[in-house]
Chains A and B, each alone.
Chain A
Amino acid sequence: MSDKLTLPKPQGPVDGARETLLSVEGLTKHFPIYGGFPIKRKVGAVQAVDGVDLSVGVGESVGLVGESGCGKSTTGRLITRLLEPTAGKITYAGQDITHASRRQLAPVRSEIQMIFQDPYSSLNPRQTVGTIIKSPMEVNGIKPAGGVEKRVRELLELVGLNPEHYNRFPHEFSGGQRQRIGVARALALNPKLIVADEPVSALDVSIQAQVVNLLQKVQEEMGIAFLFIAHDLAIVRHFSQRLAVMYLGKVVEVGDRDSIYNRPRHPYTHALLSAVPEVALDDATEDRERIRLSGDVPSPIHPPSGCRFRTRCWKAQDKCATEEPPLVQLSGNPAGHLTACHFPEEPTTEARAEDVVMDPALKALEDAPTMSPAKD
Chain B
Amino acid sequence: MTTLTKTEGERAPSGSEAFLSVRDLRVRFSTEDGIVKAVDGLSFDVERGKTLGIVGESGSGKSVTNLTVLGLHNPKTATVEGEIVLDGKELVSATEKEMEKLRGNKVAMIFQDPLTALSPYYTVGRQIAEPFMKHTGASKREAKARAIEMLDKVGIPQPAMRFDDYPHQFSGGMRQRAMIAMALICNPDLLIADEPTTALDVTVQAQILDLLKDLQQEFGSAIVFITHDLGVISKMADDLLVMYSGRAVERGSVREVLRAPQHPYTWGLLSSMPRLGGDTAQALTPIPGSPPSLLNPPSGCPFHPRCGFTSEVGGNRCSTERPELPEGRSAACHLSGEQRSTFFIEQIKPRLG
Query: Does A295 count as interface, using CB distance less than 8 angstroms?
Result: yes
Q: How far is the CA of A360 from the CA of B210 in the complex (A)?
A: 12
Task: Provide the residues of chain B in CB contact with A3, threshold 8 Å.
Answer: 283-286, 288
Task: Provide the residues of chain A in CB contact with B206, threshold 8 Å.
Answer: 274-275, 277, 292
In the complex, what residue of chain A is closest to B284 when comparing beta carbons?
Answer: A209
The reply to whether A279 and B1 contact each other, CB–CB distance below 8 Å, is no
Query: Does A126 count as interface, using CB distance less than 8 angstroms?
Result: no
CB distance from B316 to the nearest CB of A (A): 24
The reply to whether A279 and B280 contact each other, CB–CB distance below 8 Å, is no
The reply to whether B57 and A206 contact each other, CB–CB distance below 8 Å, is yes
Query: Does A296 count as interface, using CB distance less than 8 angstroms?
Result: yes
Query: Does B147 count as interface, using CB distance less than 8 angstroms?
Result: no
The answer, among B203, B215, B228, B280, for a CB contact under 8 Å with A275, is: B203
Within 8 A of B (CB), among A233-271: 233-235, 237-238, 257, 261, 271
Query: Does A194 count as interface, using CB distance less than 8 angstroms?
Result: no
Task: Provide the residues of chain B in CB contact with A204, threshold 8 Å.
Answer: 57-58, 228, 290-291
Task: Provide the residues of chain A in CB contact with B4, threshold 8 Å.
Answer: 373-375
The reply to whether A292 and B234 contact each other, CB–CB distance below 8 Å, is no
Query: Does A73 count as interface, using CB distance less than 8 angstroms?
Result: no
CB distance from A255 to the nearest CB of B (A): 15
The reply to whether B228 and A235 contact each other, CB–CB distance below 8 Å, is no
Q: How far is the CA of A306 from the CA of B330 in the complex (A)?
A: 56
Segment at the B interface, from A34-42, A338-346, A361-369: A361-369
The reply to whether A257 and B274 contact each other, CB–CB distance below 8 Å, is no
CB distance from B84 to the nearest CB of A (A): 27
The reply to whether B284 and A213 contact each other, CB–CB distance below 8 Å, is yes
A279 touching B270 in the complex, CB below 8 Å, given contacts A209-B286, A216-B283: yes
CB distance from B98 to the nearest CB of A (A): 29
Query: Does A272 count as interface, using CB distance less than 8 angstroms?
Result: yes
Segment at the B interface, from A43-51, A83-91, A280-288: A280-288
CB distance from A101 to the nearest CB of B (A): 38
Task: Provide the residues of chain B in CB contact with A335, threshold 8 Å.
Answer: none
Within 8 A of A (CB), among B131-186: 152-155, 157, 171-174, 177
In the complex, what residue of chain B is closest to A293 when comparing beta carbons?
Answer: B203
A369 touching B234 in the complex, CB below 8 Å, given contacts A275-B206, A281-B352: no
The answer, among A68, A210, A281, for a CB contact under 8 Å with B259, is: A281
The reply to whether A208 and B207 contact each other, CB–CB distance below 8 Å, is no
Query: Does A310 count as interface, using CB distance less than 8 angstroms?
Result: no
The reply to whether B229 and A277 contact each other, CB–CB distance below 8 Å, is yes
Q: How far is the CA of A297 from the CA of B272 in the complex (A)?
A: 31
In the complex, what residue of chain A is closest to B286 when comparing beta carbons?
Answer: A209
Query: Does B287 count as interface, using CB distance less than 8 angstroms?
Result: yes
Q: How many residues of B contact A (CB 8 A)?
A: 61
The reply to whether A361 and B276 contact each other, CB–CB distance below 8 Å, is no
Q: How far is the CA of A271 from the CA of B201 in the complex (A)?
A: 12
In the complex, what residue of chain B is closest to A212 when comparing beta carbons?
Answer: B284
The answer, among A234, A257, A273, A296, for a CB contact under 8 Å with B275, is: A234
Query: Does A318 count as interface, using CB distance less than 8 angstroms?
Result: no
Task: Provide the residues of chain A in CB contact with B277, threshold 8 Å.
Answer: 278, 285
Query: Does A15 count as interface, using CB distance less than 8 angstroms?
Result: no
In the complex, what residue of chain B is closest to A357 when comparing beta carbons?
Answer: B210
Q: How far is the CA of A3 from the CA of B283 in the complex (A)?
A: 8
In the complex, what residue of chain A is closest to B156 when comparing beta carbons?
Answer: A361
The reply to whether A276 and B202 contact each other, CB–CB distance below 8 Å, is yes
Query: Does B218 count as interface, using CB distance less than 8 angstroms?
Result: yes
Task: Provide the residues of chain B in CB contact with A138, threshold 8 Å.
Answer: none
The reply to whether B283 and A279 contact each other, CB–CB distance below 8 Å, is no
The reply to whether B276 and A237 contact each other, CB–CB distance below 8 Å, is yes
A359 touching B207 in the complex, CB below 8 Å, given contacts A204-B228, A233-B276, A373-B218: yes
The answer, among A207, A279, A360, for a CB contact under 8 Å with B286, is: A207
Task: Provide the residues of chain B in CB contact with A281, threshold 8 Å.
Answer: 258-259, 270, 352
Q: How far is the CA of A285 from the CA of B8 in the complex (A)?
A: 36
CB distance from A270 to the nearest CB of B (A): 11
Closest 7 CB pairs of A and B: A361-B155, A277-B231, A209-B286, A209-B272, A275-B206, A67-B201, A238-B274
Sample of 9 A–B contacts (CB below 8 Å): A3-B286, A67-B203, A68-B172, A234-B278, A271-B203, A292-B210, A296-B174, A361-B154, A376-B1
Question: With A231-B201, A277-B209, A361-B152 given, can you name 16 additional A-B contacts, CB distance below 8 Å?
Answer: A205-B273, A206-B57, A206-B287, A209-B286, A234-B276, A237-B276, A271-B203, A276-B202, A276-B276, A279-B270, A280-B259, A359-B155, A359-B211, A362-B207, A366-B214, A376-B2
